Amino acid sequence: MRFGEQLKLLREQNGLLQREIAAELKIDTPMYSKIEGGSRKAKRQQVLQLVKFFGLKEEALMSVWLADQIIDLLKEEKHGQSSLLIAGKDLYPHNKVWQ
């Protein structure tokens, strides 16, 4: 589940229009539409605004937003899988998953 998809789901589950969330983020509807569609990236600050707006735990949206950026970084790369493991080992060495 990519970030835009997740966002659309949240919006629909809450019975909201794009324009209402766009207003909350102080951007116009086309811009918001692009974020849902995945052709534009939300800013970190906007993710935090969305977390508050929907009353979520930060991790629920933030981890998906971060994953989205990793996916964009690696999707065309031949060596993405090994780079994920190297990064994991470096950042979270206690977790055996990466070994």
Partner DNA sequence: TTTGACTTGTCTATTTTTGACAATATTATT
Partner DNA sequence: AATAATATTGTCAAAAATAGACAAGTCAAA
What gap in Å lies between CA 60 and CA 13, rounded to an integer?
A: 15
Q: Which does 96 bind (CB under 5 to 8 A by kind): a second copy, DNA, none?
A: none
Rounded Cα distance, 53 and 11, in Å: 10
Type of residue at 3: F
| Interface mask toward DNA for 11-50; x: CB under 7 A | ------xxx------xxxxxx-xx-xx-xxx-x--x----
Residues that bind a second copy (CB under 8 A): 2, 58-59, 62-67, 69-71, 73-75, 77-88, 90-92, 95, 97-98
Count residues near DNA (CB under 7 A): 18
Task: Give the distance from CA 40 to its chain's centroid.
Answer: 11
